[in-house]
Structure 1
Amino acid sequence: MRFTRTSKALGIMAIAAALALSGCGAGGGTESEASVDPAKIIKAYSNEPQNPLLPANTNEVFGGRVVELLFEGLRTYDADGKPVNALAESIETDDAQTWTIKIKDGAKFTNGEAITAKTFVDSWNFAALSTNLQNNGYFFESIDGYADVSAVTTTTDAEGKSIDTPAPTAETMSGLKAVDDSTIEVKLAQPEADWSLRLGYSAFFPLPSAALADPKAYGENPVGNGPYKMAKEGAWQHDSQIELVKNEDYSGPREAKNGGVTFRFYTDPQPAYTDLQGDNLDITDVLPSNALATYTSDFPERNSTKPIATNSTLNIPGYNPNFQGEAGKLRRQALSHAINREEIAKVIFSGTRTPAKAFAPPVIEGFTEDIPGAEVLQFDAAKAKELWEQAEAIQPYDGSVLQIASNTDGGNKEWIEAVANGFKNNLGIEAEIQPFAKFAEMLNLRKSQSLPGLARAGWQGDYPSLYNFLGPLWATGASSNYEKYSNPEFDALLKEGLGAKTPEEANAKFNEAQAILFEDLPGLPLWDQARPIVWSNNVAKAETGWNGGVLYYNIEAK
């Protein structure tokens, strides 16, 4: 049966229904058209991106929000998570393995360079080739020939850390070709009914030829094709701000309703909140913990909250001997039982979080609480102490303090201190936050396997799929699997799920894979989120999308 993915979106409909029923705060805001200024620049909260702004190398939230505004892909997602064709005229398949993509005529980058089928083929091959060291190359794993271009050799250094060295046997994926200027043919390694759902994610964005010629230089001043463009040469002022202005030539589904967005970098959400109260900042999606109980009264009619496809975890480094073997397994379980998720969600997050029940959030289709092993998420002080003592009997804990690495800009200090106190009170171990002013600094240490203890982590959905909360984070060699977790049985179940004929069959396999995660506990699910945002008197309307990201292009200023 031939079908187009523009109409096959059962999972997305479930998300839309969940969000519609969830209820919002003052949400949205309204103003007459006469009071809206379409040329006004929006000043928005952010932090320094981790890497140069290349779509296939950006997989953290602060760089991601910029990249998503500078570029447009084959598809995008509306506020409810429904896929919408952008540069794609059509996306079709007869067998869910060979896909034919037609590109709309006339698409160009802001430098005038045409966007053709070859543009996408070259961009995707660049992203997947291991020698280019792109974080998101993993997203092309389904395409035939990916294994040849992504190959690496793994060795171990004197300290036992894994070192990956690129060793591709080909420079292009055999399953990817440009048939003509407007037609891309993609052959997958196996049938995957929902493959095209991913095509709105930034890893699949097109790149101009200059990016492929000199990625490092390009990443400092990227040229894209999205609703915004860099305001000028040097618009990225490191550790200060990034200035974007409206792309007047853009004609896609995300046309900007304002004149631009300037992302201002903060290392602490409290000054940003104060700036908002004084109308010196226009919008933030990161609130200080002490404002979670008051933001609706601090910003009456200028706030919004809804459940989103985002979750939080504490990741456990497998390279740390304290968490290896049978003793390590018992310690992981003890740590999980020692966290009072419900109390922290209520007291510190004022109900804007709910205790996690799985490794994926409830708004994603296929979510279930009934996963074997999920009971490890229940707070049980006695059980936690018993498990820790069993671990001590096998192998004593090596170290005086358990550190929990976290960026301090995201309002994380208070809840991490609460978790650390839980470890002290329930396990009898000293624990403390390992603070980082920049999120990028912590990510770099995670990537180099250099953290001494646990790491705060979170995932904002790239595309609305249960797999997206599992594969990129926990599959062997995955782009955001910084702690290098690996389990062949888990990988096999993911592959089976990707090759399933129906979403229901796929999700059943993905939930089987989650049971393995609960057995191994490479990370501890903490809570799911309802993302609050607040805005200044300079903003008439604002909202978040399905995954909690602010829809900056849709902000109306006054």
Structure 2
Amino acid sequence: MKQRRLIAAGALFAAGALALSACSSDSGGDSGDSADSNASVTIYNTKPENPLIPGNTNEVGGGNILDAIFRGLVDYDPDTAAPEMSMAESIESDDNITWTVKLKADQTFQDGTPVDADSFIDAWNWTAYGPNAALNNYFFASFKGYDEMNPVDPDDDGPKKADEPEAKELSGLKKVSDTEFTVELANAQSFFPTMVGYTAFYPLPDSFFDDPEAYGKKPIANGPFQVTSGDGDTGFTLTAWSGYKGEDKPQIAEAVFKTYTSDSAGYNDVLAGNLDFMNQVPAAALVDNQYQTDRADHFVNKAVGVIQTMTLPQYSDNFKDDPNIGKALSLAIDRDTITKTVFNGGRTPATGWVSPIVDGYKAGACGEFCTYDPAKAKEYLAKSNFKGPFSFSYNADGQGNKEAAEAICNSIKNALDVECNAKAYVDFATLRADVNSDKMDNLFRTGWQMDYPHIQNFLEPLYATGAGSNDGRWSNTEFDDLIKKANAAEGEEAYADYQAAEALIATDMAVVPLWYQAQQSVWSDRLSNVKVTPKSTLDLVSVTAS
């Protein structure tokens, strides 16, 4: 096989993939004042669930910080999400199984220590080592030696404990020199070079291993910004790092991520000039496109790689081994009405589990079950073992979550004649703590912001057996086998297998698709050259402020 180099993402945005209710403004909005290289920009954020450790961060509150302060082997173009070389000089393979990674020379962390092969190998081994219980552990499941580091728990949460791992290092990782290492996978994986820009694959300095707890409070990274102060409760202050050698150098001196527990409070701060950027306006501001009036010439409305879903925990006796419940609930949700009334058409009803903006997307994976049909919904509920009452948990600090949760429950009530109540968690971190501890006994809000632009990222990390973000603990061996087959293939062949795997999720409907997300962001008069990335984040490299 011809050697493979890092591949572009292809036609990431399909024309007409998402129909938006309003035209986007020019994302380069001009404040009319000259840019100030010493400027500080304030940004809306939610409380990180955990300390700022890449291998243990899989949610946006912490991810927003880590993506600003770290750089991985590759980074993603802020316009197209196409992967581009960052710390890596090249990533090559003859067979999609063994990959040779060559690093750029003379790269350092913010403490002056080198970013070398050991920085990646040691970081990846820490995340892959089962006893560390890192949330991003699963991203290394395709690496040779993963099973030896992650023995199977004989009874999950029962009294028996898993055996001690046979190994503490991935046998598939081999150092060649300070600037070169090889990765051997257990199975062929054509998208490996696209995947390794994700948070789980960031390098770590020696100081992390000396004291992981202290490191998580104020991490030392290798990207264009560094953490100078702050905590999850109030927010973090990042300053531009003068020692950064990458080409993507920021034009601002400081980025302050402010923690909010209320989206309306954040929006009011933007209007009052106390906050510079809010990635998603509240649902109330979508009515009649009020945000476009409030922030004329300082908004954007664009499709992003985000989907919202509702999960039925399969470990709960209410939902275990009963596909009829999920089908009944999905048929009972009037997506068309909710997206129009709650989001003013700023969301598109989902027909599957993969975002339309990535190659390989195929409409209709959900089949009949994503169509509102109260009569059929009642038929499935009658066949189910659990007939309610239902509750739907959501995090109150997320934009539009309260209104959406109440609308979903009202739709379920009206269609099924059962009780359904929206249950608020104070913030995303608190909700995720219960989700990750398998403490949910009813419906809960889930969503996915793509880590990298590939159809696999919307499927395997979320629905493969034992996957780190498989919040409902759904399992289907046929799905797992199709994913492995797709991972080894390329192009149309791979897409067909991914699509076949996606269709299998509808057999149990353990996760109900709700809507694909477009993003409505606003910013202050101070900002210019504003870009909202396909991952729905503010591009901190291009933005300027007066």
What TM-score comes out, normalization by structure 1 length?
0.93
* Correspondence 1:169 to 2:166: yes
* Aligned equivalent of 2:462: 473
Give 1:370 shift.
4.3
Q: Secondary structure at the match of 2:175?
A: strand
* Correspondence 1:291 to 2:280: no
* Aligned equivalent of 2:178: 181
Q: Tell me how far apart the structure 1 counterparts of residues 247 and 125 of structure 2 sit (CA, whole Å).
A: 26
- What amino acid sits opposite 2:503 in the alignment? A
Give 1:322 shift.
2.2
CA 463–71 in structure 1, closer or farther in 2 if over 3 Å, else same: same
Q: Secondary structure at the match of 2:251?
A: coil
Deviations 1:484-517 (A, max 9, x none): 11111111111111111x2211111111111210
Q: Secondary structure at the match of 1:13?
A: coil
Computed over aligned residues only, the root mean square deviation of the Cα atoms, in angstroms, reads 1.9
- 2:420 paired residue among 431, 455, 469: 431
**Structure 1 gap ranges (5+):** none
Q: Tell me how far apart the structure 2 counterparts of residues 116 and 315 of structure 1 sit (CA, whole Å).
A: 40
Q: Tell me how far apart the structure 1 counterparts of residues 17 and 492 of structure 2 sit (CA, whole Å).
A: 22
* Aligned equivalent of 1:218: 215
CA 525–169 in structure 1, closer or farther in 2 if over 3 Å, else same: same
Q: Tell me how far apart the structure 2 counterparts of residues 378 and 540 of structure 1 sit (CA, whole Å).
A: 42
Deviations 1:325-384 (A, max 9, x none): 3xx32121110000000111111111110000111011110111143x521110001111
* Correspondence 1:52 to 2:45: no
Q: Secondary structure at the match of 1:445?
A: helix
* Aligned equivalent of 1:317: 313
Deviations 1:505-538 (A, max 9, x none): 1111111111210101110000001111100112
Structure 1 or 2: more helix by fraction:
1
Identity %: 36
Q: Tell me how far apart the structure 2 counterparts of residues 87 and 195 of structure 1 sit (CA, whole Å).
A: 15
Give 1:463 shift.
0.6
* Aligned equivalent of 1:304: 300
Query: Contact 1:4 / 1:90 at 8 angstroms: preserved in 2?
Result: no
* Aligned equivalent of 1:127: 127
Q: Secondary structure at the match of 2:66?
A: helix
* Correspondence 1:333 to 2:327: yes
Q: Tell me how far apart the structure 2 counterparts of residues 163 and 302 of structure 1 sit (CA, whole Å).
A: 57
Query: Contact 1:47 / 1:266 at 8 angstroms: preserved in 2?
Result: yes
Query: Contact 1:5 / 1:197 at 8 angstroms: preserved in 2?
Result: no
CA 492–446 in structure 1, closer or farther in 2 if over 3 Å, else same: same
CA 44–32 in structure 1, closer or farther in 2 if over 3 Å, else same: closer
- What amino acid sits opposite 1:554 in the alignment? S
Deviations 1:68-101 (A, max 9, x none): 0111111000021111100111111111111111
Query: Contact 1:29 / 1:301 at 8 angstroms: preserved in 2?
Result: no
Q: Tell me how far apart the structure 1 counterparts of residues 372 and 39 of structure 2 sit (CA, whole Å).
A: 49
* Aligned equivalent of 2:495: 507
CA 70–163 in structure 1, closer or farther in 2 if over 3 Å, else same: farther
* Correspondence 1:249 to 2:243: yes
* Aligned equivalent of 1:355: 349
Q: Tell me how far apart the structure 1 counterparts of residues 14 and 328 of structure 2 sit (CA, whole Å).
A: 37
Q: Secondary structure at the match of 1:426?
A: helix
* Aligned equivalent of 2:393: 405
* Aligned equivalent of 2:272: 278
Question: Within 5 A, what are the aligned runs for 1:133-212?
Answer: 133-157=133-157, 165=162, 167-212=164-209
Query: Contact 1:152 / 1:164 at 8 angstroms: preserved in 2?
Result: no
**Structure 2 gap ranges (5+):** none
CA 538–163 in structure 1, closer or farther in 2 if over 3 Å, else same: farther
Query: Contact 1:355 / 1:528 at 8 angstroms: preserved in 2?
Result: yes
- What amino acid sits opposite 2:300 in the alignment? S
CA 165–483 in structure 1, closer or farther in 2 if over 3 Å, else same: farther
Deviations 1:246-269 (A, max 9, x none): 111112243112111111111110
Query: Contact 2:323 / 2:510 at 8 angstroms: preserved in 1?
Result: no
Query: Contact 1:403 / 1:452 at 8 angstroms: preserved in 2?
Result: no
Q: Tell me how far apart the structure 2 counterparts of residues 429 and 244 of structure 1 sit (CA, whole Å).
A: 49
Q: Secondary structure at the match of 2:447?
A: strand
Deviations 1:408-458 (A, max 9, x none): 111211111111011111111111111111101111111111122111010
Give 1:481 shift.
1.2
Q: Secondary structure at the match of 2:89?
A: strand
Give 1:21 shift.
9.9
- What amino acid sits opposite 2:314 in the alignment? G
CA 265–451 in structure 1, closer or farther in 2 if over 3 Å, else same: same
Query: Contact 1:366 / 1:507 at 8 angstroms: preserved in 2?
Result: yes
